Structure 1
Amino acid sequence: MADNDTYVLAVIGLLTLCSLITRAGYFVFGNRIPLTDGVRRALRYAPPAALIAIIVPEILPWAEGARAFVDVRLLAVLVAIAVYARTRSTVSVIVSGMVAFWVLRALL
C-alpha cells in the first residue's frame, strides 16, 4: 500500500512541477526568449479557442443516443448570441442565456 501512496504523491508532485514550469516559464524567461510577431498574433486566439473548446461539447449532443440536434441548450445559446449582437454586454448575455435556458427547459 505504501508503494501506491508514493506513486500517487510522485505523480502529483511531477504534475505540479510541469504546470508551474509551463505557466510561470514565460514570466521567468520572458525577457530572455522574445516571441516573434507571428507567435504573438497566434496567442491572441488562445482564449477564444479555449472557451470554444469548453462550450461546444456542452452545447451539441455528442453522446450516444442523444436527442434531436436542436436542444434546449443550443436554443439558449442562440438567444444569448442575439442579445450580445444587440447589447454587447457580457452581463446581459449571461442573464439572458440562463433565463432562456430555464424557460425553455420548463416549457419543453
Structure 2
Amino acid sequence: MMHDVPYVLGAIALLTICSLVTRAGYLLLGDYLPLSDGVRRALRYAPAAALVGIIVPEVLPWQPGTAPVFDAKAVAALVGVLLYLRTRNGLVVIGGGMLAYWLLRAVWPF
C-alpha cells in the first residue's frame, strides 16, 4: 500500500500541471492566438450544450430497446420548462421545478 503513494502524488501533480496549463494557457496567450469568428460563435453554445449533456440523460433515463418511462424528474423538468416559457425567471424555474419534484415524489408511487 505504501508503494502506491509516490504514484498517486505524481498523478496529482501532473493533473494539476495539466489543469493549470489548459486553463491559464488561453489567458496568458490569448492576445497572440486570436479566435476566428466561427469559433467564437460556436463557443457561445458550449454552456447550453454542456447543460443538455448533463440534464437530458438524468431526466430521461431511457434504456435501449425499452419504452420510455416518464418519472417525477421528467414531469418536474416539464414544469420547469413551462415556468420558463411563462416567466423567463431563472429563480422561479428552479424553485417551481424543485417544488414540483418534491410534491411528485411525495405523491407518486415509485
Q: Give SS of 1:70's match.
A: coil
TM-score, normalised to structure 1, is 0.90
Q: Identity over the aligned pairs, expressed in percent?
A: 54
Number of residue equivalences: 107
Unaligned 5+ runs, structure 2: none
Cα pair 2:62 2:68 within 8 Å, conserved: no
RMSD across aligned positions (CA): 1.9
- Could you tell me which residue of structure 2 aligns to residue 47 of structure 1? 47
Give the 5 Å matches for 1:91-102.
91-102=91-102
Dislocated runs of 4+, deviation >4 Å: none
Using a 3 Å threshold, how does the CA distance of structure 1 residues 63 and 10 change in structure 2: closer, same or farther?
A: farther
Moved more, 68-77 or 96-105: 68-77
Q: Structure 1 counterpart of 2:99, which letter? A: V
* CA pair 68-42 structure 1, distance change in 2 beyond 3 A: closer
Moved more, 11-20 or 75-84: 11-20
Partner of 1:38: 38
CA distance in 2, matches of 1:98, 1:67: 26
Contact 1:76-1:97 within 8 A present in 2 as well: yes
Gaps in structure 1 of 5+ consecutive residues: none
